[in-house]
Amino acid sequence: MRPGQPGGGIGAAHGEGARLGDGVGIFVGTHVNKVDGKGRVSVPASFRALLADDSTFFAFPSFIHGGIECRNAAFMEALSDTVEGLDPFSDEQDHLAEAIFAASHSLTFDSEGRVVLPEALREHAVIADRAAFVGKGKTFQIWEPTAHKGFQKQARERALADRQALRQRPHQAPHPGGPGENGT
């Protein structure tokens, strides 16, 4: 959604991408779509609208949970700069490059708004016939729907147990072009 288009404001319905007053898009909601026998799945229209300038995005297995992390090219370039800034012969640099870049796949929309989820990503997330696209603000993830429901329940329980994490903290402006600017 572009600013000024219907549904493109802060009042976008639950489950749609939304553009804030400054034009920054955020991914919200959980959308479950069917995966066909070839591994193709429709990316939610609201997510595609937020990625309108990028017909390709990058996906890699999360190394902290069972989902698939999805990021845009700008985020991946900034992340590459960060990793390259580490000692090139350090274990930390090698591990991050292996966990993210070596495992990443570029996914491009077809004419119907679908992408092909590579087998390695489907295996990581244990995705068979349905995939949940989960908005995470400036990024999104892809999950097996039942696994995501369990993860979401645990996350909510942890958040309720630790209400301090829900306090609004002072906003720090991201570095221009850095991963915090618009990660997906």
pLDDT at residue number 93: 92
pLDDT at residue number 175: 54
Which value, to the nearest 10 degrees, does the dihedral of the CA atoms of residues 76, 59, 119, 95 take?
50
Alpha carbons 47 and 17: distance in angstroms, whole number: 6
Mean pLDDT of 14-22: 49
Confidence label for 19 from pLDDT (cuts 50, 70 and 90): low
The helix/strand/coil state of 142 is strand
Confidence label for 160 from pLDDT (cuts 50, 70 and 90): confident
Location of structure tokens 């997906």: 184
What's the pLDDT tens digit per position in 74-129? 899 999 999 999 998 999 999 999 999 999 999 999 999 999 999 999 999 999 99
CATH superfamily, domain at 25-165: Transcriptional regulator MraZ domain (3.40.1550.20)
Confidence label for 45 from pLDDT (cuts 50, 70 and 90): very high
User: Which of 51 and 2 is assigned the larger pLDDT?
Assistant: 51
* Percent of the chain that is helix, strand, coil (3-state, to 5): 30, 25, 45
Mean pLDDT of 30-39: 97
Alpha carbons 90 and 79: distance in angstroms, whole number: 17
Residue 7 has pLDDT above 60, yes or no: no
The residue extents of the domains of the chain are 25-165
